[in-house]
């Protein structure tokens, strides 16, 4: 497995608002710093893994409160309550300039690799809030995939094995805190590309780790990157 077969994406990497939409968020400034606006720590995770794996990557720092890049065009949660009230022309403009270009770039990257005759492994990087509706989420690291795709399941089995060595005592779960087949970028790409051309894995990390002291958070990210590198190197050695 060559390094060119790896693609990283981060759909919720920031809370940036394009200048033309800042008025819409004037009364929602506090919300922009919450988990509803972006995935805290996801951008740092993306950058650490990108550097370690030397993988091609796509990072969005625009808040998902404008439009959610990890939702299909038909999803009811594509737009937030802030932008859902805009008229159709304005919503179409958001899709045209802030949604479609990202999704198109990612899908074209998969097509390019597929033409070279090998499958691409896509790691979509996310983090999740430790508490949801006052309920504690026990998962530390989640690996989301489609159970019907044997190659995705096999990849995650190897990855979890590596993570258990690097993160003893941590709860590493499959398809938690979300289902791997739920609406998302990986699910959409699976509909476009066969298992022989595309593997889609979502990495979900509990945001409690991003709240650790700087050096501990950095060490966590670096160890996570080593886990991926070990699995990729192991696959590379196989005929």
CATH number at residue 18: 3.40.630.40
Quote the pLDDT of residue 116.
Answer: 67
Nearest to 53 by CA among 1, 98, 18: 1
Give the pLDDT means over successive 10-residue stretches in the chain (239 positions): 74 97 95 96 98 96 98 97 96 98 97 81 97 92 98 97 98 97 98 94 98 97 97 72
Give, in degrees to the nearest 5, the angle at Cα 133 between 129 and 136: 55
pTM of the model: 0.94
Quote the pLDDT of residue 8.
Answer: 98
Quote the pLDDT of residue 103.
Answer: 98
Quote the pLDDT of residue 1.
Answer: 41
Angle of helix 100-115 relative to helix 185-192, nearest 10 degrees, comes to 40
**Rounded mean pLDDT of the chain?**
94
Q: What are phi and psi of 142, to 5 degrees?
A: -110, 140
Quote the pLDDT of residue 48.
Answer: 98
Q: Which domain holds residue 125?
A: 3-237
How many structural domains is the chain composed of? Answer: 1
Quote the pLDDT of residue 220.
Answer: 98
Quote the pLDDT of residue 237.
Answer: 60
């Amino acid at each position: 497995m060559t390094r060119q077969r790896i693609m990283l994406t981060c759909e919720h990497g920031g809370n940036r608002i394009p200048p033309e939409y800042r008025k819409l968020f004037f009364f929602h400034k506090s919300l922009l710093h919450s988990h509803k606006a972006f995935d805290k720590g996801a951008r740092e995770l993306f950058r650490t893994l990108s550097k370690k794996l030397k993988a091609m990557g796509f990072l969005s720092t625009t808040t998902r409160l404008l439009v959610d890049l990890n939702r299909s065009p038909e999803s009811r949660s594509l737009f937030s309550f802030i932008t859902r009230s805009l008229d159709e022309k304005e919503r179409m403009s958001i899709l045209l300039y802030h949604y479609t270009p990202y999704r198109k770039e990612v899908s074209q990257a998969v097509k390019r690799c597929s033409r070279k005759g090998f499958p691409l492994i896509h790691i979509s990087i996310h983090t999740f809030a430790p508490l949801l509706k006052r309920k504690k989420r026990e998962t530390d690291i989640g690996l989301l995939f489609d159970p019907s795709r044997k190659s995705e399941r096999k990849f995650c089995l190897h990855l979890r094995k590596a993570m258990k060595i690097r993160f003893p005592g941590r709860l590493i779960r499959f398809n938690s805190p979300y289902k791997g087949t739920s609406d998302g970028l990986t699910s959409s790409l699976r509909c476009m590309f066969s298992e022989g051309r595309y593997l889609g894995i979502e990495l979900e990390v509990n945001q409690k780790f991003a709240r650790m002291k700087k050096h501990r958070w950095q060490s966590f990210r670096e160890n996570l990157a080593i886990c991926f590198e070990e699995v990729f190197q192991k696959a590379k050695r196989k005929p």
